[in-house]
Amino acid sequence: MKQGFHRLAIVAALLAFCVIVLGAYVRLSDAGLGCPDWPGCYGKLTWPVQDADVQIANEAFPERPVETHKAWKEMAHRYLAGALVLMVVALNWLAWRSRGPARNLRGKTTALFVLIIFQAALGMWTVTLKLLPIIVMGHLLGGMATLGLLIWIIYDSRYTSGYRSGPQLRAVRPLVLTALTVLVLQIALGGWTSANYAAMVCPDFPTCQGEMWPNSNFREGFTVSRDIGVDFEGGVLDLPSRTAIHVTHRIGAVITLIVLLYTGFRLTRIATVQRIGILLVALVSAQFLLGVLNIVLRLPLANAVAHNGVAALLLAVLVGLVYRTSPAHR
């Protein structure tokens, strides 16, 4: 039971990572409304392909004609997310029927189930509220939280007899927690940037629109409450508002780079996590480079998706480090 639970948690975490990456691909290829209804697609379990089905779908949704190249991406993401829900259900089943160490994980697996159901609701609202920015950003953060909780469960199911960190690891715990907090805030900023279509309002680097501090409207750019019913595809904010979002994300990127590099180099001085420290340094350096390339190369799809994927990997590494630096478990 112990080994089976642990392996299933690993598979679920890998699937959660794939869902995050595929979700980024859907969002960045402007396919977030590829299916205007939920949970089906134009009233079908798949998506309209035959000419007759396409005609019926177009008549039912005249405001959003069928675009097959977008619809299949959206449905593929839903199918993969559905598979993740089933894995979370399986983890709960194993934990609640176990009489061994896995029973100690019932609270975490239950929390994971609640989170994944709320994440599904966010996915629905993303469509029904027509890409409302706060929902889109929340959906991204929900995916990251799901991955983070699965990483924690992987560690907990590995050290079923208890875990205790050494004094060197406990000493860097505040730094690791700070790094994780900074990263989560930067991921949220990235989600807000993407949800408001602000990624390319500054086509130059390191300047923005030819200036070090361009005209920006921070109040409007970071207004969370928006009218319901508006189609937010393509964005509704003016240039100064989007510029404020983009500039803030750039500043956050520099802060994140500094904090995570410092954390990584500190960890390389501790033998038990030296390799993880090196990995952290490599990942955050790659992430910063991908961010710069997004601007210089004008947001190529593969590069932008990779930017989201590396953010998820950084989160996984730091959540694992938070576990490793904890004083004790069980």
Q: Which pLDDT value is given to residue 167?
A: 85
Whether residue 330 is predicted with pLDDT greater than 90 in this model: the reply is no
Q: What is the pLDDT of residue 320?
A: 96
Prediction pTM value: 0.94
How far are the Cα atoms of 168, 181, 258, 263 from residue 175, in angstroms, in the given order?
12, 10, 12, 7
Query: Chain-wide mean pLDDT for the chain?
Result: 94
pLDDT at res. 200: 94
Look at residue 158 in the predicted model and tell me its pLDDT. 84
Task: Give 224: exposed, middle or buried? Use CB within 10 Å, 0-12, 13-18, 19+.
Answer: exposed
The predicted-structure confidence for 79-104, as pLDDT tens digits, reads as follows: 999 999 999 999 999 999 887 777 78
Q: Residue 23 is encoded by which pair of tokens?
A: 């979700």
Q: Which alpha helices (DSSP H) does 129-233 contain, by range? A: 133-158, 167-171, 173-195, 218-221
306, 326 contact by CB (below 8 A)? no
Residue 1 has pLDDT above 80, yes or no: no
Q: What is the pLDDT of residues 113-126, one digit of tens each?
A: 999 999 999 999 99
Among residues 91, 86, 89, 72, the alpha carbon closest in space to that of 22 is found at: 72
Residue of 67, 74, 211, 220 with catalytic role:
74
74 in active site: yes
Read off the pLDDT of each residue in 262-277 and give the average, rounded to a whole number: 96
